[in-house]
Chain A
Amino acid sequence: MTERLFEGADWDFRTLQRITDACEEVALKDLGLDVYPNQIEVITAEQMLDAYSSVGMPLFYKHWSFGKHFAYHEASYRKGLMGLAYEIVINSSPCISYLMEENTATMQTLVIAHAAFGHNHFFKNNYLFKQWTDADGILDYLDFAKTYVMQCEDRYGRVEVERTLDAAHALMSHGIDRYPGKKKLDLRAEEKRAGRRRQHEEEVFNDLWRTVPKGAAKSRTALSIERRRKLLGLPQENLLYFLEKSAPRLAPWQRELLRIVRHIAQYFYPQSQTKVMNEGTATYVHYRIMTKLHEQGRISDGNFLEFLGSHTNVVFQPEFDDPRFSGFNPYALGFAVMQDIERIVTRPEDEDREWFPDIAGKNDVMGVLRDVWANYRDESFIAQFLSPKLMRHFRMFHLHDDPEERAGIRVDAIHDERGFRRVRRELARQHDVGFIDANIEVVDVDLSGDRRLILHHHVIKGSQLNETDAKRVLQHLADLWTYDVALIEVDSNDKVMREYVVSPRPISAVA
C-alpha cells in the first residue's frame, strides 16, 4: 500500500508538493493530460477578494469600478452572504492557481486537481483558447497595460484617463472579434498564388466570354457608398476596434487605451463561450484524480468522504421550481455530460449507438474526451453530446414565452422522443454567445454630412435594448466618436423599430 499523502485536515508546503506530484502522476499518466507548467500560490481571504475585483488577474490597471466591485464583494463576504471560491486559476503560462489558505488538505488536493490540471489542460488545448489567447504573453501584457495607464494618468490627468476607460468599459462587450481575422499574408506565397492564377486563366481562356453582355454598370452613388464602407472596413461589429482605428479626434494614447481594453475583452472571450465545458472538464478531471488517489490508498476513506461531500455540493443542480434555482449550473451540466460520454464510450446502449455512432463503444474514454475538450465550445458541445438519457435525467423541458400569447407560457418540448432534439437545440442556443450578446454593428459614417456614426442593432425575437443603459452606452460612444451617433434597431425584415441619436458631451469634444 502506498503512503498517505496527508492525514487529517492540516497541510504544509511539503504536503502541497506531495499532493501536486501525486496529482500530476495521475493526470499525465492515467488521463494523458497536456498542461502548462504549474505555479501554485497560497493566498488569504483578503487577497482572494482583491483578485475578485480585478477579474481574477494578479495585476490589473487601476480603475474605480474595480474598487466598487471590491467594496461590494467585501461587504457581502463580511456579512456572510457570500462564500469565496476555493481557487482561482489563470490562463497563463506558467498556469497560476490561487489556493485559499483556509482550505483543508483534502480541499487543496481537490483544488489542485481541478485547477492546476483540469482547467490547465483545457486552457492549453481548447481551440478557442489557442486561437484567441496568448498564455505566454498575458501577464506581461497586463503589466504593460498597468504601467501604461499609470503613465497616461501622470501625463494627461486622472480624470481624462478615467473618462476614456469608462467609455471603453461600457463598450467592452462589443470590443471583440468573433471570427479569426485574415492572417497576414506571406509575400512569397502571394507571388506563387498570383502565378497560379495566371496559369489557370491561360488554361481556361475562351474568347467567347468577351462577347457575353455585362450587366448595367453600378450607379455612382452606390459605388461611393461601397467604396466608403470598404475604406472604413464596414460593417464592423467590433466597436472598440472601429473607434481605435477610425475615430477622428482621439489622441494616440486614447487609442492605445481602447486597444488595451479590447485585448483584455478578447482574452476573456473564450472563457465566456466555454463555461460549461471548462468547468465540466475540470470537475471530471478532479473526480478522476481523487478517485484514483483514493484507490491507491493515498487518501484515507474519511478524507475521501469529505471530498465527496464538497464535490456533491459543486455539482448540485436545483430544479426550476426550487428557490435556489438560478439557471443551469455549469459544473453540474458539464460534469454530467463528461460522465455520460464516458458511459457512452464504454457501456453504450442501443439508443446511444443510434445517437452517437462515432463514439459509442469506442472504449478509449480519454481519447474521446481529449478530442472533445480540444475541439468544441459550449454551444457545439451541447448540440453534439447532450444525450437523451441526460435530458431524461435532468427532466429538461423547453418553455416558450411570447408576451403576445394570452394563455401564458407554452411548454414547447419536453424530454420525450418528440422533444429531445428540440430541447437540445434550444439549450445549445442558450449557450451561443452570438445569440446572447446583442448584435450591434457599425454600418456607415456620414462622411459628406455631419460625420454621424450609424449603428444597427439587429433585433432577434423582439428583444430590444434596455433604454436607459443603451442611452448611457451611446453617450460614451458619442464622446469617443466626438460627433453624433445614431443607433437604429431593425428587425429581421429591416423594419426600423426604434432610433436613438446621441450627441457628444461638450467636455470630451475638448479632449
Chain B
Amino acid sequence: MPIHIIDRRLNPGGKSLENRQRFLRRAKSLVQGAVKKTSQERDIKDVLEGGEVTIPLDGMHEPRFRRDGGTRDMVLPGNKKFIEGDYLQRSGQGSAKDSGPGEGDSEDAFRFVLSRDEFVDLFLDDLELPDLAKRKIAQTESEGIQRAGYTTSGSPSNISVGRTVRLALARRIALKRPRKDEIEELEAAIAACTDEDERVMLLAQLEKLKAKIKRIPFIDPLDIRFRRFETVPKPVAQAVMFCLMDVSGSMSEHMKDLAKRFYMLLYVFLKRRYKHVEIVFVRHTDRAEEVDEQTFFYGPASGGTLVSSALQAMHEIVRERFNPSDWNIYAAQASDGDNSYSDGELAGMLLTDKILPVCQFFAYLEVGESGGSAFDLSDSSLWTLYERLRNSGAPLSMRKVSERSEIFPVFHDLFQRRETAQEKAAP
C-alpha cells in the first residue's frame, strides 16, 4: 500500500486569519472598548505592542440546548471508603459534586491575544487624516519606474535573455532548422556507407542541411527583446513630523510628559499611514535648536520664550531637507502658552506665510499643570494669537490639556472623521 508522507510545514500559514478577522469584526465594539481600556493602563510607547485583551463573551456566545438541574447519576473512579447506602455531604465533599460536566458557564469572559497590527488598527480605527491632508496626498505624486512587458528596441543592458532565447527557439522549431545531432547522424551514416550512389545522395543531403543551418541563424535580430520600463506616478509615502516644544523654565516635567504623550500618539498614527516617517525635534527658549529625542525631553535649558525662533528653525529645516513636494509635513507644537508680546507679530507671520502653506496639519497643544482649571480663566498669549489666526482662516488645530488622561480624547478630537476644526480651516 503506498504511503504518502507530505511536508506541510512550508504551506502558507494563517489559514485561520480570515475567521479571526470575522471574529474581530463581529466583536468590534467589544474589542475596541477593551483596547481603549488596556491602552489607558499602558505607557504610550508600548501602545504599539498589541497584547492580551479580555472581552465579555456575551455577544459572542454560541448557544446550544443544554440541560441542568434534576437528579444526577455518575460513576466515578477511586472509591476508598464508601459502601452502598452511604451519604456524602453536599457542601463538605464538594469534590465529588464538582466533577460533573456542564462547565458551560465558566467562559463568560473571553481572553485572547491581539497582534500588534490588530491592536493599533482598532486603537486608531475611528481616526482619520484631516481632509485637507488627504487632498494633498492625492496631488503630491512623484514619478516611479515600473516594469512593463517587453519591447523590440532598447539599450543592450536591458536585453531580456530568457525571452530572446525562447523566441529564437520557437522560430528555429517553426522553420525546421536542422539540429546538431541530425547532422552528426548523417555524417556517421556517410562514414559507414559503402554504396557509392547512396553516399553521394547522403552527401547532397548533408550539404542541403548545412546550407539550411546557415540560412536560419541561431539567434536572429528579430528574436531580440528588451525589458520595457514605464514611469508611473507614485504617491508620496513618506512623512516628516516636527515636534516643536517650549522648554523654557515655565514648562514643568508634567507638561513635558503631556507633550510627549501627544507626540507619541501622533507618531503611531502617522506610522500607520506612511511607509516612512521621520521625526524632527525642535526645542526652543528664546532661540531654537534641533536636538535628539533625549535632549528634547530631558535636556536642561533656560531662557525666555520666543516662539518665532522655533517656527523659523522649522521653516529652515523644511527648506533644507524636506521638499514639500516629496514629503508630507506634520507639525505639533506644545507649549504652556507663554510668549513675549513683542514676538506675536513675527510668529503669526511666519506661521501663516511660511509654515502653514507647506504643512498637512499643524496642531497646537497647550499644556497646563495637573488640576489647572485656572487655565480657563484667561487665555495665554500664544493661545490668543493662534485663535486670532484660526478665526481668520488659518488651518490650525488647537487644544488645551492638563491631565494625562485627556491626551487620548484630545488626540481623538483632533483627528476624528468629522473634523469640525478642519471645516473651519478649509481654505
Contacts and interface: CB of A to CB of B under 8 A. Distances in A.
Interface of A: 13, 16-17, 20-21, 24, 35, 37-44, 46-47, 49-50, 53-54, 62-68, 70-72, 74-75, 78, 94, 98, 101, 162, 166, 169-170, 172-174, 317-322, 325-328, 394-404, 407-416, 418-419, 423, 426-427, 429-430, 437-438, 440, 457, 459-466, 468-470, 472-473, 476
B75 interface: yes
Nearest to B89: A408
Nearest to B101: A327
A115 B14 CA distance: 25
A241 B80 CA distance: 48
A430 B3 contact: no
A402 B88 CA distance: 12
B4 A39 contact: yes
Contacts of B7: 13, 41-42
A411 B23 contact: no
B23 A67 contact: yes
Nearest to B25: A64
Interface string B109-135: 011110000000000000000000000
Nearest to B82: A411
Nearest to A409: B88
A174 B89 CA distance: 36
B5 interface: yes
A162 B89 CA distance: 47
A460 B18 CA distance: 42
Contacts of B170: none
Given A41-B8, A395-B78, A470-B65, A409 B70 contact: no
B392 interface: no
B77 A63 contact: no
A64 B26 contact: yes
Nearest to A393: B77
B272 to A, nearest CB: 22
Contact of A62 (B19, B77, B82): B19
A396 B79 contact: yes
Top 9 closest pairs, chain A to chain B, by CB: A319-B78, A463-B70, A67-B23, A462-B70, A67-B19, A472-B63, A71-B112, A320-B76, A64-B22
B84 interface: yes
5 contacts: A64-B23, A170-B64, A396-B75, A398-B74, A409-B88
A13 B96 contact: no
B20 A67 contact: yes
Contacts of A38: 1, 3-4
B76 A396 contact: yes
B214 interface: no
B79 A414 contact: yes
B73 interface: yes
Nearest to B22: A64
B65 A174 contact: yes
Contacts of A13: 5, 7
A94 B3 CA distance: 9
Nearest to B105: A466
Contact of B84 (A162, A321, A416, A457): A416
A17 B70 CA distance: 54
A419 B84 contact: yes
Instruction: Give the most central of B61, B63, B90: most A CB within 10 Å.
Output: B63
Nearest to B20: A67
B61 A472 contact: yes
B320 interface: no
A29 to B, nearest CB: 13
B115 to A, nearest CB: 10
B63 A40 contact: no
Contacts of B99: 320, 325-327
Contacts of B147: none
A74 B115 CA distance: 11
Contacts of B89: 408
B9 A173 contact: no
A317 B76 CA distance: 11
B2 interface: yes
A407 B77 contact: no
A347 B35 CA distance: 65
B22 A398 contact: no
A64 B14 CA distance: 15
A395 B76 CA distance: 8
A20 B90 contact: no
A410 B88 CA distance: 6
A412 B67 contact: no
A457 to B, nearest CB: 8
B65 A71 contact: no
Contacts of A17: 3, 5
A317 B3 contact: no
Interface string B86-106: 111110010111010100100
B63 A49 contact: no
Contact of A401 (B14, B73, B75, B85): B73
B173 interface: no
Given A20-B5, A419-B84, A464-B69, A399 B76 contact: yes
B155 interface: no
Interface in B1-58: 1-9, 11, 13-16, 18-27, 52
Contact of B20 (A46, A70, A170, A468): A70
Interface string B276-305: 000000000000000000000000000000
Contacts of B14: 46, 50
A145 B408 CA distance: 45
Instruction: Give the most central of A49, A408, A415, A426: most B CB within 10 Å.
Output: A408
Contact of A398 (B15, B60, B75, B97): B75
B16 A53 contact: yes
Contacts of B66: 438, 465-466, 469-470
Given A47-B11, A397-B82, A400-B71, A41 B6 contact: yes
A335 to B, nearest CB: 14
B62 interface: yes
Contacts of A397: 75-76, 79, 82
Nearest to B77: A394
Nearest to A66: B19
Given A17-B3, A39-B4, A40-B4, A463 B86 contact: no
A411 B85 contact: yes
B72 interface: yes
Contacts of A21: 3
A173 to B, nearest CB: 6
B80 A395 contact: yes
Given A38-B1, A320-B77, A461-B71, A43 B9 contact: yes
B83 interface: yes
B1 A37 contact: yes
A464 to B, nearest CB: 6
A438 B75 contact: no
Contacts of A413: 84
Contacts of B71: 400-404, 461-463
Contacts of B78: 318-322, 325, 394-395
A12 B111 CA distance: 38
Instruction: Give the most central of B24, B77, B80, B85: most A CB within 10 Å.
Output: B77
B68 interface: yes
A321 B15 CA distance: 41
Given A400-B73, A404-B71, A469-B63, 6 more contacts: A54-B16, A398-B75, A411-B83, A411-B86, A416-B84, A430-B73
Contacts of A39: 3-6
Contacts of B80: 395
A187 to B, nearest CB: 39
Contacts of B75: 328, 396-399, 423, 426-427, 430
A54 to B, nearest CB: 7
A430 to B, nearest CB: 6
B77 A16 contact: no
A465 B84 contact: no
B62 A396 contact: no
Contacts of B79: 320, 395-397, 414-415
